[in-house]
Structure 1
Amino acid sequence: MSAPKRVKRAISGWVVLNKPYDMTSTQAVGKVRWLFGAAKAGHAGTLDPLATGILPIALGEATKAVPYVQDGTKIYRFAVKWGSATATDDAEGAVIATSDVRPEQAALEAILPQFTGTIMQLPPIYSALKIDGERAYDLARAGEVVELAEREIRVDSIALVSHSSEQSVLEVSCGKGTYVRSLARDIAEQLGTRGHVSMLHRAAVGPFSDADAVTIDELEAALAEERDGFIRPVAEALHGVPELRLDPSQAAAVRHGNAVLLTGAGAPVSVDDCWASFAGVVLATGYVQFGQFQPRRVFN
């Protein structure tokens, strides 16, 4: 006889995973979904297989708040190995160019301000960006010529953590769409040498950081009845977004997707982006227009 089919659970919340090395983001989501028996799961921002660090995994209704996390600021700690460029701009790819130049610490620190603010960046050809419906990395692996356009990105800060003749470690705080592999490549070229990312760790995504993270090993070691203690509330993804606390009648209307008039002395007249709650639970994300909360996305 075959084993009984596992019943999927309608659970909602965030598992802030410290993704291990050499695991894809899709594999990580699948593992976490299986461990929790969740009916639905997704992630807020892909991490390369060779990268470690914060991969926020959304269970159930939390998947509706994924864009808020994806759009949040990210912090990466990464190492640049000097003297060689690779096809993938990280340690996975074949070496395609070399240089004997090893930058001095002072020279590296002097050019870092050039890579802050709003800058243009050429993404790696081995990336998940789509070209005519195909992933760039699939085209590159098939031997096709991949041409990507430069994109505008935001780098809030970049600082040197440690330096040696062979490798330097940096920490960057940046916005959505920034490729650290491209950053390492461009910094090396600006210094008249070649370089690629040899280590990459994501220390924060939006409201989630290393301090919040749990490992696969910790989840596997926990008893099934204890594992739910690692799930963080759906509302944590909405940190920094204005909250509207509704009364029972307003909450009932919003649960059905209806707009509600906000009352009281402090009620806002216009808000571009906000979320409504009742008893601390997320009801919907939306906006306020003419004193009414208009739901865009309703949470069950």
Structure 2
Amino acid sequence: MTRLLVLGFAAGALGAVGGARLAGEAAALVRSRAPRLAAGAAALVDIVLRAGREGRDPGARERRRLLAAGALAAFVAGWLVLGLVPAIGVAAVGPLAVSRVLRSGRERYRHAVDRGAASMAGALADALTGGHSLRGAIVAAASGLDGEAGVELRRVASELALGARTEDALEAMRARVRSHGVDTIVAASLLQRGAGGDLAGLLRECARALEDHARLEHDARAATAQARFTGVIVVLLPLGGALLAELASPGYLAHLAGSFLTAWLGGLALVMQLVAAVLIRRLGRVRV
């Protein structure tokens, strides 16, 4: 008996020493890899932020990294919340969510540039009035214009500094942004550049028209804001009720899912809620 106690004590001591040694090695490995992991994560976050701040699309290599990181994050989250088997299905949703985030960032950037199109037209008109050519007016206006419109105009100025033709740089901006305001500015600039005339006056008229357009769009959004908000609340009410029922009686949703009929009806209701949310979003979209 004493011998067994001694052997047990020795095994426990050796296990504790081995565990401490293994923990030390793991900590050293984490410390050595942590800067690289942190730098990689920061680079991925910066790619997503630049999509919304500068409208830049990630390259093929960056996109692969983002999709892989999204799948890994979704898998880990699904594993912790739902378990191993459901986590595999959740991991397939991760890349779709990343693509949606990138697309949403680019859309926000495009709308921000479109909102600043009137300021862009006014800045170009002021530079042309000061005696600059169209090429020089772009460079001069880019240095004094703020916001996303200024970022886009500075990108055009950088392309001109690298030797790009004025027409090509403006067409590239129009293709990137795809907005009504920028299309108007580029069309006016290229037409007047080829046909001659008072480009500064035309751009000022464009600026006034774009400001009126933005004001009309804002009024239309304000008029439909309450209806859109009510629609979203109505869509979210059943989901909130289901969560409250689960909190009040844990396992309630799992019990419903155990029956084929209730699971089928619940899935059908969820699909109809998603369709209703999409339709409300489309109906509430303002087009002026």
Which has the bigger relative contact order, CA under 8 A and spacing at least 6? 1
Please indicate the TM-score interval, normalised by the length of the shorter structure: under 0.3
Structure of larger gyration radius: 2
Higher helix share: 2
The structure with the largest strand share of the pair is 1
TM-score (norm 2): 0.25
